[in-house]
């Protein structure tokens, strides 16, 4: 497995996640959808 292509693909995916989270902000201590989104992505 080549590391550079794997990291580049991960960078693209993480950028998409960041944009999604910033486009759908939640108030402090009420991050239910954010928590669900992150948990789903990390599974």
DSSP the chain: --HHHHHHHHHHHHHHHHHHHHHS---TT--HHHHHHHHHHH-
At 5 the pLDDT is: 87
Q: Which two tokens stand for residue 20?
A: 């999604």
pTM of the model: 0.75
> Taking the CA atoms of the chain, what radius of gyration do you get in angstroms?
13
Distance CA 7, CA 32 (A): 29
Torsions phi, psi of 25, nearest 5?
-70, 155
- The stretches in the chain having pLDDT less than 70 are 1
At 18 the pLDDT is: 97
Residues 17, 8, 40, 35: is their CA dihedral positive or negative? Answer: negative
At 25 the pLDDT is: 96
């Amino acid at each position: 497995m080549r590391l550079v292509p794997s990291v580049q693909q991960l960078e693209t995916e993480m950028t998409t996640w960041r944009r999604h989270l910033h486009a759908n902000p939640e108030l402090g201590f009420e991050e239910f959808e954010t928590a669900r989104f992150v948990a789903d992505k990390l599974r």
